[in-house]
């Protein structure tokens, strides 16, 4: 597992302090595959519980690209429990007053952000992906004792010699394939998303739904606007501005204010069929996209990865190394149905948004309360 490009994020080991959690000895050894949001959050939770953690990441360096994530109040609570609440609040901005519009700008409905805020007592937040990755890395570094081995793709998960193996290696997870076979795999939905951050701050925020095309805009940080555009898979970067040229202001302006060299293209995929379990062999667990990759329509992919990481590491901390099989069963019971329901909801929303009868869809939207 050691390699020439390996990076040490190691300062101390044995005693974990500073966050109200401590252990006189290491609780067990864990290998986490993947240094994305799910993997880094899991590593933090395990370190807090006193585990010795190695993170294997196939990329040569931290992957800091990306635009902004919506962080739902439940995921904010998970970040609080992982000790990252202050870092979140220092960089995130609240998301409020967003509407769903037609391409001509007519308002169809409100996104339920105020309802979420009333219920949870705190707003939905938006945070740039690089800031979240940086905050996770900083928290790991603060604890010390975690080795992040960059440029180390895991190829044979069954050969790993560790008490616990966590597959946080994304939608093409090799841990999932090794323990669950290839029956469940990534399935494209025939739509791609282009995402970017414009160098200007605009209102109004929210989503604009056309026929087979959608455009979303959110705040992200002062002076910038986070946007995402979904279009048929064959659309090239050059065609995206034309596709939205006659949509309401500020959509063409937002696209004009973003350097196409910085646009990111995502092929939208989800994991199908859903897995029968997130855990295997009493020592293996999947988190995040590896377990339940979903389409981005509900903006919950990173949120569910954070909830998985918090739930898994809480269960493992309560069970200790000897109670690992029971802890993994508890994690599976807490997270599998819930995460798979969100994935199903996201896919259903995609179908609703993409209907060939947009007039009927828009009428239904107008009838929504509030
Ligand atoms: C357009 C779009 C918008 C989105 N918007 C939102 C949003 O608003 N809110 C939200 O919550 N989510 C959003 N998401 C989803 C979000 O990006 C992901 O679901 C989330 O980041 C999952 O994190 P993860 O750690 O499970 O996986 P990943 O981020 O995929 O990380 C997996 C890591 O594992 C590494 N890896 C892979 N294979 C190996 C291997 N064999 N060995 C070692 N390392 C390996 C990868 O390099 C990567 O670093 C959006 C997605 C899209 C496409």
Tokens of 54: 């190695």
Q: Percent of the chain beyond pLDDT 70?
A: 92
Instruction: Report the half-sphere exposure of 204 (CA within 13 A, side-chain side).
Output: 16
CA terminus-to-terminus distance, the chain: 54
Q: How far is the CA of 125 from the centre of ligand 1 (A)?
A: 18
The pLDDT confidence band at residue 363, using thresholds 50, 70 and 90, is: confident
pLDDT (mean) for 291-300:
92
pLDDT for 143 equals 83
Ligand 1 neighbours, Cβ below 6 Å, are 33-39, 56-59, 63, 69-70, 153-154, 168-170, 174, 193, 195, 228, 266, 288-290, 296, 299-303, 305
Mean pLDDT of all residues belonging to the chain: 89
Confidence (pLDDT) at 67: 87
Closest CA to 298 of 366, 228, 196: 228
Q: Which atom of ligand 1 is nearest to the CA of 174?
A: 41
Give domain status of residue 204, yes or no.
no
Q: Please report, for the domain that includes residue 165, its CATH number.
A: 3.50.50.60
Strands (E), the chain: 7-9, 29-33, 52-57, 68-71, 93-94, 99-101, 107-110, 125-128, 146-150, 164-167, 185-198, 206-209, 214-221, 224-232, 264-272, 279-280, 284-286
- pLDDT (tens digit, 9 = 90+) per residue, 198-223? 999 987 899 999 988 999 999 998 89
State the closest ligand 1 atom to the C-alpha of 38, by its place in the atom list counted from 1.
Answer: 25
The residue with tokens 């992957």 is 63
Higher pLDDT, 281 or 212: 281
Return d(Cα 291, Cα 21) in angstroms, integer.
Answer: 28
Q: What is the pLDDT of residue 322?
A: 78
147, part of any domain: yes
Residue 145 located in a structural domain: yes
Decide: pTM greater than 0.85: yes
- pLDDT-derived band at 144 (thresholds 50, 70, 90) equals confident
- Determine the pLDDT at residue 321: 66
Give the residue, by CA position, lying nearest to ligand 1 atom 29.
36
What per-residue confidence (pLDDT) applies to 370?
56
Task: Give me the pLDDT at residue 369, please.
Answer: 66
Query: 361 CB contacts (<8 Å, ≥6 apart)?
Result: 209, 352, 353, 355
Q: For 325-333, what is the mean pLDDT? A: 97
The yes-or-no verdict on residue 22 having pLDDT over 70 is: no
Lowest-confidence region among 22-31, 37-46, 176-185, 328-337: 22-31
In the predicted structure, residue 11 carries a pLDDT above the cut 60: no
Residue 58 located in a structural domain: yes
* Structural domain includes residue 364: no
Least confident of 196-210, 231-245, 323-337: 231-245
Q: Is residue 283 part of a domain?
A: yes
Is 153 within the bounds of a domain? yes
Atom of ligand 1 nearest to the CA of 228: 1
The mean pLDDT of 109-126, rounded to a whole number, is: 94
- pLDDT, position 25: 55
pLDDT of residue 196: 94
28-47 confidence digits (pLDDT tens):
999 999 999 999 999 999 99
Does residue 213 sit in helix, strand or coil? coil
The pLDDT score that the predictor gives to residue 353 is 82
Decide: 262 and 308 in contact? Cβ < 8 Å: no
Residue for token digits 């904010």?
76
Is 123 contained in some domain? no
Taking the C-alpha atoms of residue 155 and residue 221, their distance in angstroms, rounded to an integer, is 39
Which residue CA neighbors atom 3 of ligand 1 most closely? 296
Determine which residue's CA is closest to atom 26 belonging to ligand 1: 288
| Ligand 1 atom nearest 37 alpha carbon | 25
In the chain, how many domains are there?
1
Pocket test for ligand 1, best of 69, 78, 297, 309 (most atoms within 8 A of CB): 69
The 10s digit of each residue's pLDDT in 46-66 is 999 999 999 999 999 988 778
- Domain hosting 56: range is 7-68+130-187+270-353
């Amino acid at each position: 597992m050691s390699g020439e490009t390996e990076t040490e994020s190691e300062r101390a080991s044995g005693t974990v302090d500073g966050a109200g959690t401590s252990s006189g000895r290491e609780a067990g050894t864990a290998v986490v595959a993947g240094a994305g949001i799910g993997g880094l959050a899991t590593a933090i939770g395990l370190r807090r519980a006193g585990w010795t953690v190695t993170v294997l990441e196939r990329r040569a360096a931290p992957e800091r690209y990306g635009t902004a994530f919506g962080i739902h109040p439940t995921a904010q609570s998970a970040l609080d429990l992982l000790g990252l609440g202050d870092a979140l609040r220092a960089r995130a901005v609240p998301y409020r007053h967003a509407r769903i519009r037609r391409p001509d700008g007519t308002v169809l409905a409100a996104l339920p952000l105020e309802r979420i805020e009333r219920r949870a007592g705190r707003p939905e937040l938006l945070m740039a992906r690089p800031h979240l990755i940086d905050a996770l890395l900083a928290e790991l570094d603060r604890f010390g004792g975690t080795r992040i081995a960059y440029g180390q793709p895991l190829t044979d998960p069954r050969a790993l010699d560790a008490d616990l193996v966590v597959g946080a290696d994304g939608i093409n997870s090799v841990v999932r394939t090794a323990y669950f076979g290839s029956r469940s795999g990534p399935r494209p939905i025939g739509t791609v998303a282009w995402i970017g951050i414009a160098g200007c701050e605009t209102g109004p925020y929210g989503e604009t739904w056309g026929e087979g095309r959608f455009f979303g805009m959110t705040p992200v940080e002062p002076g910038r606007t986070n946007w995402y555009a979904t279009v048929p898979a064959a659309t090239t970067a050059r065609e995206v501005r034309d596709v939205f040229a006659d949509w309401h202001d500020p959509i063409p302006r937002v696209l004009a204010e973003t350097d196409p060299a910085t646009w990111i293209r995502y092929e939208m995929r989800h994991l199908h069929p859903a897995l029968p379990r997130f855990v295997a062999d009493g020592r293996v667990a999947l988190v995040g996209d590896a377990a339940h990759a979903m389409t981005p329509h509900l903006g919950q992919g990173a949120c569910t990865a954070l909830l998985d990481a918090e739930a898994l590491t809480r269960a493992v901390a309560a069970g200790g190394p000897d109670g690992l099989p029971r802890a993994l069963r508890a994690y599976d019971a807490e997270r599998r149905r819930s995460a798979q329901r969100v994935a199903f909801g996201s896919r259903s929303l995609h179908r609703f948004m993409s209907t060939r009868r947009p007039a009927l869809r828009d009428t239904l939207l107008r009838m929504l309360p509030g």
